[in-house]
Structure 1
């Protein structure tokens, strides 16, 4: 197996790490493959010999090293897949209904897409899993019902986890856009202040030094050279008027 088939640059997701769904596989078949990958932690740490025993459509395209695992198997993917396993293996009546819908076409009440399967699994997990903390998931930051502190962002009761994360991304993007606009506005305000205060001083300086040789003579003044020495070590005054004027403008 060629470990160079893909790299761990960026978070490309499972679609880069595993082969695509086979044309002959039903949605139910594909879910079973995904569950097999999930329960084996996406074959993390298996070598070429171990992976060779797996069917081609199940095993990853490259050995899943630690670097590959953290680059391609995101936290969101792991979370959603664990909830899929929970819903699929449930022994309750709602678990039977979930599995039956995997074999039905969409017009007859089936899922139609893998995304629909994952969203339904998330809903079933929220409604049935003892690990789900509804008060923590949707409460405002502050105190939970058991008195513990809650610092999580608010998730709406009707949101799936994917919708919740998408809303957070959109909120962060909007905040970044607003922050950039505010910084641009502050820069414009600073430019106005500089234009209103520095420009008149430079104009006055240029007017005072417009006489030929005046800039060079002022740079030779001991008090001016002491002031420049505070900023530049080993300063040597230029011999032409233009450079001397530029140095005085910088000093101003």
Structure 2
């Protein structure tokens, strides 16, 4: 009877051989080192790159925002919401603004629809191979994919964020419990109300690691309650202003 460890060893031996055969002459050394240290070795270079960025989501977040800053905000672009299918506009302020996903600002194949920079082999963000030609079949950097997933579902990064905080609640300073939750320091509704005019690369920081914290659930519930009351007061004030002659 084959044990789990025997199956894993056999599987990894095959995956390592397949990966080594498929490796291009130039390949990011940290990615290869990471791949070979996995409990289950990714069998292809592309899967190795994806595994690397999934395990380094904070690094991916910093890189994606740096690449966005390099591209800059498209001329004439403003952060808007929309409901029409195919408009490229998010229907809620909880989604990060992404101008290069909008048809009028899209840069086409070979350029990342998140940051706007060229995409090279294996979804890499720089031209390690020196041929100067983006991959025309790609429209995402592997790093930007990992960053985007963090931005839209930050709870998936709770383990790494806990480690960054040394397992201490960002609000109370007490030890984080298993039920601790990811929170935005500056609530996203406030970003929409107060910061929407900021440059696009700066806006991304409100979805990224600079604005993410892990707090114990009791702290998060209290913070959400206060934010709900604030939003209610704002709605009431707006309704009063509309009724005043």
TM over 0.5: no
- For normalisation by structure 1, the TM-score amounts to 0.23
TM-score by length of 2: 0.24
Q: Give the number of the structure whose residues are more often helix, by fraction.
A: 1
Higher alpha-carbon Rg: 1
Which structure ranks higher in relative contact order (CA pairs < 8 Å, sequence separation ≥ 6)? 2
